[in-house]
Amino acid sequence: MEHPCFILTRTNSSQTRTLSLFLGGFPAWETTRMWSAVPLCLMYLLALLGNSAVLSIIRAERSLHTPMYLLLAMLAVADLGLSTSTFPTMLRMLWLEAREISFGTCLAQMFFIHSFAGIESAVILAMAFDRYVAVCHPLRYSSILTNSVTTKVCAAIVVRTTLVQLPLPILLTQVCFTGVIKLSHPYCLHPDIIKHAGSDTRINNTYGLFVLLFTLGLDLLFVLLSYLLILKTILNIATWRERLKALNTCISHICAVLLFFIPMICLSMMHQFGKHVSPQAYVFTANLHFLAPLILNPIVYSMKTKPIRRRILRMFCQGGICKSRVAICQ
């Protein structure tokens, strides 16, 4: 049954009721749209190759089948899901100038984007707990975090995210939309869609805020709590060398936290309170939130994680010089 507020359009002389949504673009790039697609394609390929390489290395190396690397693999899966959910519509819009998207496709994209973002947030929290146990309770690490426990945590993350995110597109189908909807981003986000509604959206706004606080907000709170406990433990260590050694084990994860949560907080604040924010600021912050972690996470973890770095050097280097580099890294 079609929504009664969908606008009336004509297709092949037959009348159908559809909702027109037009993706927002890159305002500063309108004159160089085709050239802008080239670096975006390279970013997409880099995200795919980087995260796929991390997954293949962890799968191939049995010594990496430990809680820390299983969580890293889950993070790479979330990054691959986010990149697959966001990049295609962006590339389609830049290459083909195709801004229009159907309501059903937009809801599906919105669900997957928010779901994979929620999974990434929860995985970052699980990795923070992993670092907390490793630094604060190193002797009990192997007994607290086993592969079985980590697998159950990953399954719980997927179930929680699916159950929490599923009502969002369902509730949107009950909202009245009229006219042509011009979104602020080159992909569909819940706060961006709901602000174009032509009927009461209190339920949608309330549930959207609940999802934001219950998932991303709660995850960030516990991540900060974990690092407060980690910092307290590090400061109690006698020597500076041991303190730096303990802190160095958390550097990669700290980078992942900053890359994910800082743009997310800025974007959420813009949607909630930035009514007069320019479209350029919306687009830049949203792209930074969804694109930067996808590309930089595998780079950071490859540089800071010795087994992954060593395996990548073995994969890409041939000959005596590269072998000596591998030996140095070992």
**Residue 191 maps to which CATH number?**
1.20.1070.10
Is 233 a domain residue?
yes
Q: pLDDT at position 16, please?
A: 35
CB atoms under 10 Å from CB of 76, counted, come to 25
pLDDT of residue 120: 95
Q: What is the mean pLDDT of the segment spanning 67-85?
A: 93
Strand partners, 10: 15
As a whole number, mean pLDDT of residues 256-274 equals: 80
Number of domains the chain contains: 1
**Both tokens assigned to 296:** 């930089």
pLDDT > 90: percent of the chain: 36
The pLDDT of residue 31:
52
Number of helices and strands (H, E) in the chain? 14, 5
Residue 1 lies inside a defined structural domain of this protein = no
Q: What is the mean pLDDT of the chain?
A: 82
Mean pLDDT value across residues 43-62 = 89
181 domain residue, yes or no? yes
What is the average pLDDT across 218-229? Answer: 95
Whether residue 2 is contained in a domain is answered as: no
What gap in Å lies between CA 199 and CA 325, rounded to an integer?
63
- For the CA atoms of the chain, what is the radius of gyration? 22
Return the higher-pLDDT residue of 98 and 294: 294
- Which residues form the domain of 242? 8-329
Kindly give, in sequence order, each residue whose CB lies less than 8 Å from that of residue 290, ignoring residues fewer than 6 positions away. 82, 86, 113, 117, 187
Residue with the larger pLDDT of the pair 212 and 152 = 152
Quote the pLDDT of residue 171: 92
